[in-house]
Every structure is written in structure tokens, then in C-alpha cells.
Amino acid sequence: MDEKIIYLDNGDTTRIDDEVLQQMMKYYTDSYGNPVSLHALGMEADEDLAKARQIIASSINAEPSEIIFTSGATESNNTAINGIAEYYKNKGNHIIISSIEHSSVKAVAHRLKNDGYKVDEVKVDSEGFIDIEDLKSKFKVTTILVSVIYGNYEIGTIQNIEEIGAVCREKGVLFHTDAAQAYGKLKIDVKKENIDLMTINAHKNHGPKGIGVLYVKKGVKLKKLMEGGSHESGMRAGTENMPAVMGFARAAEIAYSDLDSNNAKISGLRDRLVTGLLEIPHVTYNGPKGGNLSRRLPHNADITFHYIEGEAILMHLSLRGICVSSGSACSSKTLEPSHVLTAIGLKHEQAHGSIRFTISKYNTEQEIDKTVKNVKEVVELLRSMSSFDPEKHSN
């Protein structure tokens, strides 16, 4: 990567850690056996696969048998929702999600309506926290699944997963959470937090792309989506991607070996960035802040720059060597405003003026300061080119 590039789009994907890449290379060139093969290389691969499963399981206080390797968070979310819907369809046809889910949850849940399922969305407040009373009011005798995102990919809101899980447990309803953004940044305990199914992946935490995990609590049944071999306890046919699996495990070890220190550094950089950006007139810091700042993902800052388009800011910053996002990578090329931002009360034009900055351990104070300086210049430039009148909008 060009040294001049300042990469602040780590919520979409991250640079792979050198140690992770080194770990993966071994499984491309030396230990390249198939875990189901009965010869020496195959048995070695099978042992290493078991070790990786143990590492991932330990990081969330799960059992190795509860870990299913997938191709990523999208597959894990689809498998959880479709799999539960299909397996428990004789029990009920009602699913509850939050109004700020990732598209790989929201879209698949609403697609199930075509098959006769009912879907309700739980409201969130202005900082993105779900309304627990609204959740409770939406349970029916036919409810089979609740899915609430752990840490939001756009505004960084960390839900009270333990409380939500307890409500679901009391109602006898399965609980799934998409923790793709939270894993590797937060301490997660699936037992304590009453989680039945959970989605995580590697590439948000300096691991490889194309590898994820679906945690499935022992006793929870899923309709498998693919037929074939008996891989992953018969739940996910297809030869395991061993280089990616081992890279995932190494990335998890690194992330959780020094979690508090990394989070302190990253959140410090985020706060430095936000302090600088809030000096710009007519901006809004979206998501948890003030007394709720501890309930925000440490790497996330989402800012609305009023009276200008976020896409224009993004493109101008890109020309200056600064990479940011106008939303999730899965939806940032659409013309529709972010459903997350409209769910917390932003108008369409405000949502279109929002930029997400996401920080990693590789960023520096110098990069943050340079970003603040460039954003200030870009905003001033764009507003001067528009019909924006500072006198009309002065405080």
C-alpha cells in the first residue's frame, strides 16, 4: 500500500497482520493437507483444525463443538436465520430483528416474508439502543427467533446483549446476534450473555477475508443450507479453508492478548479525531456519546456534515489519500440513505451527509491530525461551492 494513504475504513475491512499472514503461508506451502484425509498431512491438518476451533471457542467462552467455520459473516447470518426459520417452522413463523441490522440479517429476514413468515422490527432511540419494552411487546406465541446486532457497523452502538438474551431466554425464544464488528474489540461471553447463535468473522480484526464462524449453542438445531460431505459436524459441507481458518485463529489470539491496551489506544485516536471534527460548524456526532460513550465500539466515529453530500466528502478525501466510508461497504454504492441513520431519527438529506471513520491499531496521531485538517478544508470547499449560506445557519 502507498505510504501516503491514510486508511480510516477499518469497519469495512482491515490490513492483515504480518503474524497472521506468516501463519497462513505455512498452510499454503507445507501443511496443505485436507483435514478429512487419513494420511500424515491430512491428520496433521485435522489436528490443527481442532486447535483453531479451540482458540476461537475459548475467545467467546464456548465449546469447540459449537463452532462452525463458514465463508464469512454474511454466510453465518444467512445460515442462522434461514436455518432456524426452516427447522422450527412447525413451531412458529415469527421473527424479530432490530431496525439497525446489517443487510445480511435485514434482507434475509424480510425475504422470508415471501414464504409466509412474519417479521417485526424493534425501534431504537437516537443513539441506536433498542427499546427493551418495545422488544418485549413484540413477542408472540409463534416467535421463533430474535436477532439483534451486537455492535453496530455504522454508528458503533453496543447493545445490552446480556439483557436482550435474558428476555429471549425467559420467553423461550432463540437469540442470535451479529457480532462481526464487536468480535476482537469486546470481551464476549456467550454463556453469560444468553446467546444461542452468534456470527463473527476475521477480516475486521486484521485476519483474512473469506472466513467466518457461526457459533451454535449445543442443543440448538439448524436446517443446513448445503448438502455434501460431513464437514463441520455435518453442518457445512465443503473442505475447510485451512489457511484462512488458521489465520482467523492467530488473529483472534493477537486481538485478545492485548485487548485493553489496543482499545485504549484506538479509542484515544477516535476521541482525538472527533474533538477536531466537532470544531467544524454544523456537524453531528451520531451514535453513543457523552455518558454513553463507553457503549460505543472503540474504533468507530460517525459524523454528519450538514448541508453537503457525504459522497462528495468521501471522494475529495480519497483524492487526498484518505480512505473513509459513507456507510457499510455492502450498501455504500446505493443511492438510498442509510437505514441505520434514518432509524435513529436523521432526515434523508442528513443521512446522505454522513461519513464513518473507523480506526485500527496501525493508525497514528499524525494521521488523525492530518485527517482533521483535510476534512476541515474539504467541508469548507464544498460548502463554498454550494448554496450554503453560513449567515442563515449561524448559531
pLDDT tens column, 254-263? 999 999 999 9
Task: Provide the pLDDT for residue 229.
Answer: 79
pLDDT tens column, 339-376? 999 999 999 888 999 999 999 999 999 999 999 999 99
Q: Which band of pLDDT confidence, cut at 50, 70 and 90, is reported for residue 337?
A: confident
Count of C-beta atoms within a 10 Å radius of residue 107? 17
Task: Provide the pLDDT for residue 332.
Answer: 47
Global pTM reads 0.94
Count of C-beta atoms within a 10 Å radius of residue 103? 15
d(CA 153, CA 182): 9
d(CA 131, CA 148): 12
> Does 233 or 167 have the greater pLDDT score?
167
Mean pLDDT, range 262-274, rounded to an integer: 98
d(CA 286, CA 217): 34
SS3 165: helix
**Alpha helix positions (H), 88-223:** 103-111, 132-138, 161-171
SS3 292: helix
Closest by CA to 359, choosing from 10, 15, 6, is 10
pLDDT at 51 over 70: yes
SS3 132: helix
pLDDT tens column, 84-137? 999 999 999 999 999 999 999 999 999 999 999 999 999 999 999 999 999 999
Q: Express as a percent the part of the chain with pLDDT over 70.
A: 95
All residues at 6 or more sequence positions from 81 whose CB lies less than 8 Å from its CB, including other chains: 95, 105, 108, 109, 112, 145, 147, 176
Report the 3 state secondary structure along 255-268.
HHHCHHHHHHHHHH
Task: Provide the pLDDT for residue 140.
Answer: 98
Q: What structural domains does the chain harbor? A: 6-14+259-385 (3.90.1150.10), 18-256 (3.40.640.10)
Closest by CA to 76, choosing from 16, 149, 166, 21, is 149
Output phi, psi for 339, to 5 deg: -70, -25
Per the prediction, the chain carries an average pLDDT of 93
The strands making up 300-305's β-sheet, listed across from edge to edge, are: 283-286, 300-305, 354-358
- Is the Cβ–Cβ distance between 368 and 273 less than 8 Å? yes
pLDDT at 391 over 70: no
pLDDT tens column, 179-238? 999 999 999 999 999 999 999 999 999 999 999 999 999 999 998 878 887 788 878 878
pLDDT at 62 over 70: yes
Task: Provide the pLDDT for residue 189.
Answer: 98
Output phi, psi for 272, to 5 deg: -65, -40
User: Tell me, what DSSP letter sits at residue 17?
Assistant: P
Mean pLDDT, range 129-152, rounded to an integer: 98
Output phi, psi for 216, to 5 deg: -130, 115
> Does 388 or 112 have the greater pLDDT score?
112
- Is the Cβ–Cβ distance between 45 and 34 less than 8 Å? yes
Whether 323 is catalytic: no
pLDDT at 329 over 80: no
Q: Which band of pLDDT confidence, cut at 50, 70 and 90, is reported for residue 328?
A: very low
Q: Which band of pLDDT confidence, cut at 50, 70 and 90, is reported for residue 326?
A: confident
* H or E element in which residue 357 lies: strand 354-358
Task: Provide the pLDDT for residue 234.
Answer: 75
Catalytic residue among 186, 259, 330, 381: 330
Task: Provide the pLDDT for residue 388.
Answer: 61
Task: Provide the pLDDT for residue 334.
Answer: 56
Task: Provide the pLDDT for residue 314.
Answer: 96
